[in-house]
A and B are shown apart, each in its own frame.
Chain A
């Protein structure tokens, strides 16, 4: 069995026994364990971000009838590493008259926020860093930090394009946060919990127990609204290349730009992970008979599929206009998500 639960317990056991033999107090042991988990997740996510960037280039390449990166290693697997090395060497430029502190902190805020989400994501059986009982609320609130950082970046850059991008991003997220939350509400009503671990347990072990079937409308709304929150095409107005050049990150260079870039991809994976947990049964296999494949593989597979769908959107659709985008949120998504909630409530009462 390739389940990682055993390894985690084994590592935990070793740490505990070593610490005990050294006579450390319990609190220190806990901190060491938490740090270990954080480092593990951090390392995993960095690798994931690199992989996702490579994946995006390959997906876009194949959609566009070309190959994508091919020169660096097998099918260009090392392309992102090369890019990251290049970005690391670049000069960090801060424009004149920029608000230096805000300019400095904006990428750090977005980077921190997108890592903080993963504390409550169940990666597999027994692979949940912190099973907070308000997990989904925590995710919703943390992901909104992205807007703050985009607004910070836009404001601090002392550039009109950046400012327009930041403003667009703020109005966009304020609008799309509402249908996003409401679409999750349906699942929460059905599950009767806010804990991420519970969501997964309730959706096992058969495929027809996944919430995507009763909550299909909610699933669609969640996918649309979260694409908008990710600022990806067709909702990539804050960084609309053809209008605002690069929007909020126009004045960023080197590693700070890379942090925005990585954060975008990590957020994409977050959306994949949350969608998987809420609607696609988390790490559960579709049927108990398929349980020989480790749970984290199922989780990764489902998440990456959602990520692929989001990439697919990006390379197919043109971009919406600001007012269309907002009226779509308020006039279409919002009423539908209310209807969804009412239908869910009726369904719960009847069955």
Chain B
């Protein structure tokens, strides 16, 4: 890093600004070295790795089941999808059939977590734009979801809920009513957020036509999820290659038109409504039966390689898993959505102001532990 600042050529009117690693709007610990001309960004170099915990190396020294809690720590805002992707990868490798009830429970939990994650996005995005109040409103509703999670699996942040072949626990009896109430109230709350934000003139000037991401560029850099859907690219793995019986649910994939900050925001707001729909369907159509397939205590999948992909709240995440037939994975490569989304930042923010950089970075919804792993 020392050489980075030295190698940048500066003209007289330019200067370097070091943003982060401790900065209010870098969502964790990201360091951006900005080359500025006045307040305009000429160039930007992201430095990641401050949260590198070598989860991939740890995976090689844990059994398949033992690795599940570590997947929680990949993306602490949305642990359920990380769990799910790992479970799917191992099940694909070993050819385990998951009982339908467990599949529905997985969908239910993942969608609840998607809402929780988007609520964090919404709150933090508003905070980045200088409005403090929506942050607390969204966290108020997130609390309810966390209560639901606590009710189900005893945890509020790192759930460790999924198991290879199913889920760890069935729903408690009071879950149904509480969750139903939540979806009913929550739809009204989304309207409330929208009233506060969506067509607020200041919000519009801060987000409209800012940081436009063309579809081709997004694909080139590996952007996924709401980031690329905001540009109007109709690609949602839940629809395209349904996993965990997503094909049985009826929901829409919200799309943006232009790919600016506002579109990415709007896609997420609408995705919360769609997730509510899925949750209701999952609750009503929850099949009876087992919640976990029979998996041997000493679990030894066959040797082989497998990839798993799911649509996490931030985009596509997945594992590339190599097994040598022992109890421990031979190699786990974790692909996370933020990794691709953060790479686009440099393209998006060139030519904009510092204030826009904050808005653009907020709209990408990057969670740094996911990038560093």
Contacts and interface: CB of A to CB of B under 8 A. Distances in A.
Contacts of A244: 354
A319 B129 contact: yes
A63 B135 CA distance: 12
B246 interface: no
Contacts of A160: 15, 17-18
A315 B132 contact: yes
A64 B24 contact: no
A164 B354 CA distance: 10
Interface string B170-205: 000000000000000000000000001100101101
Interface string A300-317: 000000000000000111
B182 to A, nearest CB: 17
Contacts of B24: 241-242, 245
Residue from B127, B130, B133, B354 with most neighbouring chain A CB atoms (10 Å): B130
Given A160-B17, A317-B200, A318-B200, A243 B358 contact: yes
A64 B132 contact: yes
B203 A318 contact: yes
A66 B25 contact: no
A264 interface: no
B25 A242 contact: yes
Nearest to A321: B355
B358 A242 contact: yes
A243 B131 contact: no
Interface residues of A, number: 28
B150 interface: no
A58 B31 CA distance: 35
A319 B202 contact: yes
Contacts of A91: none
A322 B40 CA distance: 11
Contacts of A233: 130-131
Contact of A243 (B25, B197, B200): B25
Contact of B140 (A65, A161, A236, A243): A65
Contact of A315 (B133, B140, B202, B354): B133
21 contacts: A63-B133, A64-B132, A64-B136, A65-B137, A66-B136, A160-B18, A234-B130, A236-B130, A242-B24, A242-B128, A317-B200, A317-B202, A318-B197, A318-B200, A318-B203, A319-B130, A319-B131, A321-B353, A321-B355, A323-B353, A324-B206
Given A66-B136, A319-B131, A319-B202, 12 more contacts: A237-B355, A240-B130, A316-B196, A317-B131, A317-B200, A318-B129, A318-B200, A320-B206, A321-B206, A321-B355, A321-B356, A322-B355
